[in-house]
Structure 1
Amino acid sequence: MKITRRTLLGTGSAGLLTAGLGPILPTRAWANARLEADGRSLDTLSDGNLVLPMGFLTAEGVDAAALRPILEKHGVTGDSYTPDCNVTLLRDGDRVVLFDVGSGPDFMPSAGKLTEALDAVDLTPDDVTHVVFTHAHPDHLWGLLDEFDDPIFPEASYMIGRSEWDYWIDPETVDTIGEARASFAVGAQRRLEAVEDRIEFFDDGAEILPGVAARATFGHTPGHMAFEVALGGESAMIVGDAIGNHHIAFERPEIASGADQDAEKGIATRVALLDQIAAAKMPMIGFHLPTPGIGRAEKTDDGYRFVAVE
């Protein structure tokens, strides 16, 4: 498996008009990495970043002060943090597959940049043949529709885990998910219903596309899925938000995350997934790992360490 890293430049959506020169569009640079073997490739594309309160990192009742040294070691300080958003792109023959679609225009102004990233790798939304969802939180799903509620990827078929679909499409979810996430439920239902006639469901262990196997990683959401992608004689794991950051989630995976809807399931999933990835020395791609989001997990004496691709 070959790993390459580069810098991509994307064109901004707002321009400056200068006399006689026409519009000058600002550019945005981000790191990109690619895994490739036997004619298949996995790229990471930036959807921008989120801006979240520090309290989102740990669940209620966790001694956050005791974790401060870990965060400071990784340069995470202040009242908020800014996790990157890395969408994974698989190219395999005629298939152009996106794993998640980012935030779109309606979640946070710092995110929703996926169409710029596609342009930087010479693709348009029309080129996407399949969209596969890890889960239906806003930063993974809301990029499905544009500001006019039309599908951004008009030629794509869509795939989601059956349990994840059942949870978000259930009209009772908005009343049971909690006030802080009620808008997540409303937004997910609206967007999923927009592609209901074009969506396929799968369960744990299914080969959803050639060389792409679904792995149940419940906890962050009730039906969250990771995906093991074969590349040559090796595999890479797309972990979505099952491993949600490169500091506490690795060094103290047994700590409950405030981002997980079921904290205890999230812990069990995270520990098992890190153990598998580290033991197999398997490349991993994390949606909120530092851009470009590709690296490996190494076992330490009391936890794990994220080693970014070089």
Structure 2
Amino acid sequence: MSLNRRHVMAAIGAGAVVGWAGTGWSATEMTLGTARLTTLSDGHLTLPRDFLLGDLDPEKADPILAKHGITGDMIRPPCNLTLYRDGTHTVLFDAGAGSTFMPSAGDLRGALDTAGVAAGDITHVLFTHAHPDHLWGVLDDFDELRFANATHMIGQAEWDYWTDPDTVDTIGEERASFAVGAARRLAAIEDIVEHIGDGQEVLPGIMAHASFGHTPGHMSFEIRQGSEAVMVVGDAIGNGHLALVRPDWPSGADQDPETGIATRLRLLDHLATEGMPLVGFHLPDGGLGRIERADGAYRFVTEV
């Protein structure tokens, strides 16, 4: 297994430099046997800090956030998508935010162009969950399917939740638009979607793992080639600060905070014990690294 880290503004090409709209992006790449995994930036979110904190006491959280350079009322988590190529399949994990969620996100098209991959090359899109920054990019600016040649895969429980007409009335006012947007986009892919379950090998070497809590049907994916493996965790480990230093604290970003805690603790323990690399959708520096135990908690390291 090898990892090749490209820093901000470095492309996935031979020394090329990329950027758009005056911003930079991080990409990382690793090999598993003969396969290649690349993380690509879809930009970043711009959210009120309270969305992350939920019911947490800010006085407890602020010192941890400050150590990670997070101050003020807003947070700007990166959005890292995973591209996996094994010579037969070209798999995209999540579809990004598209152009209608928020101006700071939706850069996937440019990242794919830089990686030399066209939308038509994607054979499969695997969803961790159906929040806007993971799902809304299935439609382009003309409301056409962006990855029309691809089979789309999503957890059965996740599909059932977001296609339930009652969800918009039960999810809470602040997330009602998530439910409306998800239902419209899932309807658009209904003819090309497969529903998957916990423990299922969805493609050769790719296994789905239930990691509920952030959403009711959130999935993580273990990619394995022989003895080499990496876990795509989506938002089950939702950031590189509070989720690691105090994984036992509820996250305001999780729809079911208590289940989210149990999932997060289980994943962190497994990844730290096994030394397995992971990709986190909102982890820093491209999202690819390892989890280490540190001072009774955990930390994310990119040098692997």
Mark yes or no: TM-score above 0.5. yes
Q: In structure 2, give the amino acid aligned to 1:4.
A: N
Contact 1:56 1:258 in 2 (8 A): yes
Query: C-alpha root-mean-square deviation of aligned residues, in Å?
Result: 1.3
Q: Which residue of 2 is the match for residue 199 of structure 1? A: 193
- Cα deviation, residue 261, structure 1: 0.2
Q: Which residue of 2 is the match for residue 49 of structure 1? A: 44
- Provide, for residues 234-293 of structure 1, a one-character-per-residue CA deviation record: whole Å limited to 9, x for no partner: 211100000000000000000100000000000000000000000001101000001311
- Cα deviation, residue 300, structure 1: 2.1
Corresponding residue SS for 1:229: strand
Task: Please say if 1:4 is aligned against 2:7.
Answer: no
In the alignment, the residues of structure 1 paired with residue 197 and residue 301 of structure 2 have an alpha-carbon distance, to the nearest angstrom, of: 30
Q: In structure 2, give the amino acid aligned to 1:288.
A: H
Segment of structure 1 superposing worse, 293-302 or 114-123? 293-302
1:45-194 equivalences in 2 (<5 Å) = 45-60=40-55, 62-194=56-188
- Cα deviation, residue 10, structure 1: 4.0
The percentage of aligned residue pairs carrying the same residue is 56
- Cα deviation, residue 59, structure 1: 2.4
Corresponding residue SS for 2:251: coil
Q: Which runs of 5+ in 2 are unaligned?
A: 12-16
- Provide, for residues 68-108 of structure 1, a one-character-per-residue CA deviation record: whole Å limited to 9, x for no partner: 11111110111101000000000011211000011001001
* Equivalent residue pairs, number: 296
Greater CA radius of gyration, 1 or 2? 1
Contact 1:128 1:155 in 2 (8 A): yes
Runs of 4+ with >3 A deviation: 9-12, 26-29
- Cα deviation, residue 233, structure 1: 1.1
Which one has a larger percent strand, Structure 1 or Structure 2? 1
Q: Which runs of 5+ in 1 are unaligned?
A: 13-25
- Cα deviation, residue 232, structure 1: 3.8
- Provide, for residues 121-154 of structure 1, a one-character-per-residue CA deviation record: whole Å limited to 9, x for no partner: 1111111110000000000000010122100111
Q: In structure 2, give the amino acid aligned to 1:5.
A: R
Q: In structure 1, give the amino acid aligned to 2:45.
A: L
Corresponding residue SS for 1:189: helix
Corresponding residue SS for 1:30: coil
Q: Which residue of 2 is the match for residue 256 of structure 1? A: 250
TM-score (normalised: structure 2): 0.95
Task: Please say if 1:33 is aligned against 2:35.
Answer: no
TM-score (normalised: structure 1): 0.93
In the alignment, the residues of structure 2 paired with residue 265 and residue 206 of structure 1 have an alpha-carbon distance, to the nearest angstrom, of: 21
In the alignment, the residues of structure 2 paired with residue 139 and residue 309 of structure 1 have an alpha-carbon distance, to the nearest angstrom, of: 27
Contact 1:104 1:143 in 2 (8 A): yes
- Cα deviation, residue 11, structure 1: 6.0
Q: Which residue of 1 is the match for residue 14 of structure 2? A: none
- Cα deviation, residue 27, structure 1: 7.0
Corresponding residue SS for 1:243: coil
Distance 1:27 1:95, change over 3 A: farther
